[in-house]
Amino acid sequence: MDLSHDASAQFRYDIHRPAIIAMTANVMAADIEKARASGMNDHISKPIRPDEMFLTMATWIKPAAGKAAMAGLLPDGASISAVSATEPVALPLLPGIDTQAGLITTDQNVTLYLKLLRRFADNNQHFGEDFAQALQSADPQAASRCAHSLRGAAGNIGASAVQAAANTLEQTCNAQLPFEPALAAVQQGEAPGS
């Protein structure tokens, strides 16, 4: 996030002064203050909650075109309501996953949520191996980024125990502490200390 802090400071020299909104999983008060001190106007936390995101954006973005102008951007025959509609699909019962929390992330779009679930499974089925490779990388932040990515993806689908465990793993990596207990918690899909 340091690069974005530097970039926002540079944007502040622009006479048009665009609104800059940080979008990050770093939601501690110190992180938000650092973003604002670097020139960012506001903060949107991840995992994204569409209602909160749009409220924050509405504070800083003034619409230039209404619904009629947006219709010209859609394919022929498509309507704005059809684009945002959700299809009635039964969700499977998934141990450790709060599907209602995940659906909030997708603004109740079941099709998108199912896509996120599949992507999560595909991308993280070998997390232990990926993390071990990251530990061997010449990049000292690779393991932390690996845990960070898992944390964000888990939060998006409503896997709060995995999200919490990945957060602990990320913090452990950043502090250069022994990571084995945190990694075990991630692999078992448990919240730290449970």
CA distance 164 to 187: 12
Angle (CA) 81 101 35, round 5°:
90
DSSP letters spanning 80-146: HHHHH-----PPPP-TT--HHHHHHHTTT-HHHHHHHHHHHHHHHTTHHHHHHHHHHSS-TTHHHHH
CA distance 184 to 192: 9
pLDDT in tens, 39-92: 777 877 777 777 677 677 667 666 554 444 444 444 454 443 444 444 555 677
Burial (CB < 10 A; 0-12, 13-18, 19+), residue 49, is middle
Write down the residue that tokens 């048009």 correspond to.
16
Is 0.75 topped by the overall pTM? no
Task: Confirm if 110 and 161 have CB atoms less than 8 A apart.
Answer: no
For the chain, which residues make up each domain, given as ranges?
Answer: 2-60, 99-188
Token pair belonging to 123: 């991308």
What is the predicted pLDDT for the residue at 35? Answer: 77
**Domain 2-60 in CATH: superfamily?**
Response regulator (3.40.50.2300)
Going from the first residue of the chain to its last (194 residues), give the mean pLDDT of each consecutive group of 10, the final group possibly shorter.
53 60 75 79 76 70 50 44 49 87 89 91 91 94 95 93 93 93 86 57
